[in-house]
């Protein structure tokens, strides 16, 4: 397994693989890898000749009061996990490699980013799109893998790839959960035992919303209220949002039809966690 810190090193290796006619799968991460990331790597390993993983805590997608400095990092642990899955190359750049002095170009989007996480984190998706497009230009993958836990991000990246004619297949992979139902997240490490137990309310509330839809409820407002009522019973929880949106366009809906995303963001103590499910009408 190769570990590269420079863009030029990655490009040189990618070009060599391209000359051999090999396909490339790419998994962008911010490190502190868990089973969710591993599932993305395993999917990439199954479907491509070579697999590249980026490990980069992207400063551009953090707001001024967010957890950039405290975000968990453990490169030795991450690289061991990658090697165990069969990753061929890790790209582990420093911020100045990605954003050299004088950097002033960004990728932004008028749609899809104004609701859900984009409402409370207004600069977040500009940072995500910019770094992902840079990675795509460096790695030039055939396929790139993203988890459904960050469902809005998945929709945004799919739209960017379509709008900008990137020719990359964006593959969404299912949410991976702890045995107790909590969605896997690097930020779960912030939770103490009491907070971890409180965080289980996220998946429980979504399970109630899913049951309501499966039982025939089509009023999005009633589904949102039922989810919010369950979360509100937990003293350590503070709701950022509970919403039901069209999955393709990320706009709120009043009635359940087509494919909808039911998504929540909740603070447990100081830790902001997200979770969701996707419902597709048959």
pLDDT in tens, 82-136: 999 999 999 999 999 999 999 999 999 999 999 999 999 999 999 999 999 999 9
Model pLDDT, residue 282: 75
Report CA Rg, the chain.
Answer: 19
pTM: 0.96
Phi, psi of 216 (to 5 degrees): 110, -5
Model pLDDT, residue 57: 98
Residue 118's nearest CA partner among 70, 164, 155, 169 is 155
DSSP state of 140: -
Q: And the tokens for 22?
A: 């090999």
CA atoms of 32 and 113, how far apart (whole Å): 26
Active site positions, annotated: 37
pLDDT band per the 50, 70, 90 thresholds, residue 265: very high
- For CA atoms 62, 207, 41, 171, the dihedral sign is negative
pLDDT in tens, 192-234: 999 999 999 999 999 999 999 999 999 999 999 999 999 999 9
Across 151-161, average pLDDT: 97
């Amino acid at each position: 397994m190769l570990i590269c810190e420079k863009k030029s090193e990655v490009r040189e290796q990618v070009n060599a693989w391209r000359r051999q006619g090999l396909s490339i799968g790419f998994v962008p991460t911010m490190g502190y890898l868990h089973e969710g990331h591993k599932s993305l790597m395993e999917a990439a390993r199954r479907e491509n000749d070579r697999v590249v993983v980026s490990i980069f805590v992207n400063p551009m997608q953090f707001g001024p009061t967010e957890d950039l400095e405290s975000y968990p990092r453990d490169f030795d642990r991450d690289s061991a996990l990658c090697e165990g899955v069969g990753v061929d190359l890790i790209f582990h750049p420093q911020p100045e490699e990605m954003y050299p002095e004088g950097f002033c170009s960004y990728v932004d989007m008028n749609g899809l980013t104004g609701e859900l996480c984009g409402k409370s984190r207004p600069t977040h998706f500009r940072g995500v799109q910019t770094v992902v497009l840079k990675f795509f230009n460096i790695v030039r993958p055939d396929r790139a893998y993203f988890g459904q836990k960050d469902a809005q991000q998945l929709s945004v990246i799919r739209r960017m790839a379509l709008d900008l004619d990137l020719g990359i297949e964006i593959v969404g992979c299912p949410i991976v959960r702890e045995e107790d139902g909590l969605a896997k997240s690097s930020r779960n490490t912030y939770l103490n035992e009491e907070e971890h137990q409180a965080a289980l309310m996220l998946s429980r509330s979504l399970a109630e919303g899913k049951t309501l839809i499966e039982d025939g409820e089509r009023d999005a407002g009633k589904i949102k209220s039922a989810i919010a009522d369950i979360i509100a019973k937990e003293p350590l929880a503070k709701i950022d949002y509970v919403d039901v949106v069209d999955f393709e366009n990320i706009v709120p809906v009043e009635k359940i039809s087509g494919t909808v995303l039911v998504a929540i963001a909740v603070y447990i103590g100081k830790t902001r966690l997200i979770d969701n499910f996707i419902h597709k009408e048959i």
